[in-house]
Amino acid sequence: MDRLEAMTLFVAAVDGGSLAAAARRHGRSAAAVTRAIAGLERAAGEPLLLRSTRRLGLTPAGERHLATWRDVLARLADLEPAAPGAPLHGTVRLTAPELFGRRYVMPAIERFAAAHPHLSVRATLSNQIVDLIGDGIDLAVRLSPLADSALVVTRIGQVRSLLCASPAYLHATGMPADPSDLTRHRCIGLDANAEAERWAFARGGRVRTVRIAPRFAVDHAAAGIDAALRGHGIVQARSYQVAEHLASRRLVRLLEAWELPPVPAHVVLPAGRLPGPATRALIDYLVPALRNDLSAVEAAMTASSG
Q: How many other C-beta atoms are found inside a 10 Å radius of the C-beta of residue 151?
A: 16
Q: What are phi and psi of 35, to 5 degrees?
A: -65, -40
Query: What does the mean pLDDT of the chain come to?
Result: 87
Q: 7 near 69, Cβ under 8 Å?
A: yes
Helix (H, G, I), strand (E, B) or coil at 80: coil
Q: 64 near 9, Cβ under 8 Å?
A: no
User: How many residues are given for the chain?
Assistant: 306
Tell me, rounded to whole angstroms, the distance of Cα 68 from its chain centroid: 23
Residue ranges of domains in the chain, CATH in brackets: 3-79 (1.10.10.10), 90-150+267-301 (3.40.190.10), 161-261 (3.40.190.290)
- Give me the mean pLDDT over the 94-118 stretch: 93
Residues 12-70 pLDDT 10s: 888 878 888 888 878 888 888 888 888 888 888 888 888 765 678 888 888 888 888 88
Q: Is the Cα torsion angle 133, 134, 140, 146 positive or negative in sign?
A: negative
pLDDT of residue 11: 86
The pTM score is 0.71
